[in-house]
Structure 1
């Protein structure tokens, strides 16, 4: 690599961009108040249940344990944060509650971690919804791994806020490979280093990614499995029809299926990748059969078992308790669902109550949609891009289809969460980058520093909006809000400043590295590498296919 300045500059910029994405997730993990992310108390409760040998009860029969109940009270979860989009006069304000001293926060032990078992078949609909842990409607893989993390780190018995931070950082670790996989997929499809760097920074433009994947949620493992599956499909589309690649793809999809049903929406992408891949038809058929069989063996069996034993693919973890309402028609449904899904994909912090301005998320959605469309029509890897985009498209359609029955029957609109699309992050990042590639051509290399700077600015803006929404009360200064943050955090004020400072330094370094990448000529070689170069080079058929029509070193 030392003999190739362009490659050195690329790898340095990619490493720093990946570090920035990860550190932004870390900042979100320490910024978000305890349990102020969707369903976080229940996610933590299910981790603790497995950590303490409580098993995996049938859906609807798992209760929240005393430790999480006490933690919710100590975290003042029954209050409203200052940035809430709609004030509720009957709910106290978060800013009026004094943070509990660290030493007074409850310790989680074997005595308080588990709820009393519910007799099999008990109807929990009469209980307070907050008393029910609906996560047993999902498979247990994520929770089992997270429980193992508590044991490995020695925090299975610790203060609840320390456990919460450890589990959040575990989810951030699951986010770390996503930018690398994204860059690798784009570079494999096009050979363009510039497009790969643009794609790697995509998550920074979506503040909700850091917020959700910096919390405790099974969506973290789904997002990672979706990214790995999309990368493997990019390999298949460029001619990698080896059985071990198919088996690896099947394992990844199976891991996703053993985490959440959202992983099933990767199946159309996998099928299309093999159907449209270059190579012999028999090899493609065998690859698809191997991938599908392995996916079923690893995780698909769970959903077939649900269908055979329970009569439904996914049982209801906690019955809906909405008041009956009159549906307002299809247009109202589409307007509410599309708006809610788009907003909560780009930025709906907390329990979806801290909203980004409408102009921000709609502008972002239009840009991403337009660039993805351009990539499919005029991009350097049109067919492959279209195949990868099947994953977020299927997830988007799945959310709409899932929400319609309750709305048409009862007037309810529920389960509209932008995080359900995070399994398709790699595809959306690739589509956006390749759309920009189609728009700018060879000028994309010079645009990389500007994209990197804009990504860092977007991430900083999202964090600032979250900080204001969580901690800064009416008429208060930033100093007052920062003191409140430090009071609630398990970290000290100095540690929070250190985390923020490191993130700022890495962000600046990432922009500088991107600028240096933009200044290195694509074909630059040192004298040593030029003299040592072979007169001819062997190029694989798959590389010839993927690099056709593109500048392989741009």
Structure 2
């Protein structure tokens, strides 16, 4: 058993080393929205639940302070435009803030630890779906652990880390439930559904991105109980009642504070963030074609690594290599159905594949939809679907290696089992190169 786990332990150990290095070395506040997230925790530590108000967002001041690389003479105290966010992530960090006297590194390190859970769940999901292909699980964990932008985000103060962890947990539990063996019993279904509802409710208290899992779970129970309307109704109540009760804690509070039907606080947020670039302005400035081109290019670049406040890209050659990697993975995934006899797949039905696709497509739709109004071409908004993306990358790249080895008829193919090591080594080197070649020279005072 230990022999099978040591590659995962090695991945986690390397991730912690790289993550801690980023948390310690990246200059203070040089991660998207980090001062605003930090100030949310600071307000909780002082005994006040934040409320977003006029003055929490100042576009001109943000441009000034980021251009000045957050020099000490500029205060970050008034940067509080994340005050509309649900509180769970910040409540988790508040004891750390109090115990360490507000240490930014300690808060960053807590987020790094949350990343360990995401990597573990990515590994477990791949093992669940392809139990005989250990290389897929290791490769999936490697992609999740070492994409440079993902490392940079997990090593910052940002509620993305907890929201990703809860999405990964929901994805794992859902797949476990729909692929479990044995006779399905009503009591067993109840436990799974209530558990999923509680985790979904915690997601409602963490970040709006977790909401994408609500329609995914709705589709799952429709698939599982279609035709048995009584069971379908019961399943809906068991799943969504605990989620609704937890979410209502936040929704009722928002209605009481912001008024109207602003249950998420988005209307209050949009009224405060005046000056944030809007897509209509960019269409007038660059034209529709130019805006779309910028959307795709910036989303791709910043998915892999565009650091600081989107001001520090990597070299063009790096992105071209990564684009080639993407092309190879996509083509390999298309060829995958011809090599399924070499990669034992234990899908019980088409439902697990549908779940993975739904998570990816809904995440993509949210990213595109948000950019219809605001200019937010940040690839990190695709990270809620990072596990399905990484699983697809692993299968796609591995398919090419299986095709190369097919004529040798090996019982245990060699190249595909070396894929996690090769990809892991390459991405760790890229992480270090990005930190010391791009981030620190560009962002240090």
TM-score of the aligned structures, taking structure 2 as reference length? 0.79
State the 1:375 CA deviation. Answer: 6.0
- Cα gap change, 1:343 to 1:260, in 2 (>3 Å): same
State the 1:266 CA deviation. Answer: 1.6
State the 1:472 CA deviation. Answer: 3.4
2:170 corresponds to 1:209? no
State which of 229, 250, 254 in structure 2 corresponds to 1:302. 250
Residues 194 and 444 in structure 1, CA contact (< 8 A), matched pair in contact too: no
Distance 2:249 2:387 in 1: 26
State which of 426, 430, 433 in structure 1 corresponds to 2:394. 433
State which of 349, 367, 389 in structure 2 corresponds to 1:399. 367
Q: In the alignment, which residue of structure 2 is the partner of 1:150?
A: 97
Q: Secondary structure at the match of 1:176?
A: helix
Distance 2:261 2:82 in 1: 19
State the 1:47 CA deviation. Answer: 0.7
Q: In the alignment, which residue of structure 2 is the partner of 1:269?
A: 216
State the 1:401 CA deviation. Answer: 1.2
State which of 164, 167, 190 in structure 1 corresponds to 2:130. 190
Distance 2:130 2:232 in 1: 22
State the 1:448 CA deviation. Answer: 2.5
Q: Which runs of 5+ in 2 are unaligned?
A: 404-410
Distance 2:398 2:48 in 1: 52
State which of 323, 334, 356 in structure 2 corresponds to 1:362. 323
Provide the aligned C-alpha RMSD in A: 3.5
Q: In the alignment, which residue of structure 2 is the partner of 1:459?
A: 428
- Cα gap change, 1:49 to 1:227, in 2 (>3 Å): same
Give a deviation string over 1:405-451, Cα, whole Å, max 9, x none. x3xxxxxx512222222222222222333445655387666422232
2:354 corresponds to 1:386? yes
Matches within 5 A, 1:57-72: 57-60=51-54, 62=56
Report how many aligned residue pairs link the two structures: 405
- Cα gap change, 1:437 to 1:359, in 2 (>3 Å): closer
Residues 243 and 287 in structure 1, CA contact (< 8 A), matched pair in contact too: yes
Q: In the alignment, which residue of structure 2 is the partner of 1:320?
A: 274
Residues 303 and 382 in structure 2, CA contact (< 8 A), matched pair in contact too: yes
2:384 corresponds to 1:423? yes
Distance 1:21 1:133 in 2: 31
2:82 corresponds to 1:135? yes
Q: Structure 1 residues 413-422 or 325-334, which shifts more?
A: 325-334
Q: Structure 1 residues 15-24 or 320-329, which shifts more?
A: 320-329
Q: Secondary structure at the match of 1:134?
A: coil
Residues 375 and 385 in structure 1, CA contact (< 8 A), matched pair in contact too: no
- Cα gap change, 1:469 to 1:437, in 2 (>3 Å): closer
State which of 348, 351, 357 in structure 1 corresponds to 2:306. 348
State the 1:19 CA deviation. Answer: 2.2
Residues 139 and 419 in structure 2, CA contact (< 8 A), matched pair in contact too: no
Distance 1:449 1:208 in 2: 24
State the 1:221 CA deviation. Answer: 0.7
Q: In the alignment, which residue of structure 1 is the partner of 2:407?
A: none
State which of 285, 293, 303 in structure 2 corresponds to 1:335. 293
- Cα gap change, 1:285 to 1:428, in 2 (>3 Å): farther
Give a deviation string over 1:43-88, Cα, whole Å, max 9, x none. 1111101011132214546589xxxx9xx9xxx85435xxxxxxxx
Q: Which runs of 5+ in 1 are unaligned?
A: 1-6, 81-93, 107-111, 116-130, 407-412, 474-483, 489-554
Higher helix share: 2
Distance 1:214 1:417 in 2: 17
- Cα gap change, 1:287 to 1:51, in 2 (>3 Å): same
Distance 1:395 1:79 in 2: 34
Distance 1:428 1:361 in 2: 14
Residues 303 and 379 in structure 2, CA contact (< 8 A), matched pair in contact too: yes
- Cα gap change, 1:365 to 1:184, in 2 (>3 Å): same
Q: In the alignment, which residue of structure 1 is the partner of 2:39?
A: 45
2:4 corresponds to 1:14? no
2:49 corresponds to 1:55? yes
Q: In the alignment, which residue of structure 1 is the partner of 2:194?
A: 247
Q: Structure 1 residues 275-284 or 359-368, which shifts more?
A: 275-284
Distance 1:8 1:302 in 2: 43
* Structure number with larger C-alpha Rg: 1
Distance 1:378 1:272 in 2: 29
Distance 1:370 1:393 in 2: 19
State the 1:329 CA deviation. Answer: 5.1
Residues 81 and 273 in structure 2, CA contact (< 8 A), matched pair in contact too: no
2:177 corresponds to 1:236? yes
Distance 2:327 2:354 in 1: 18
Matches within 5 A, 1:459-498: 459-472=428-441
Residues 135 and 419 in structure 2, CA contact (< 8 A), matched pair in contact too: no
Distance 1:372 1:289 in 2: 38
Q: Structure 1 residues 22-31 or 44-53, which shifts more?
A: 22-31
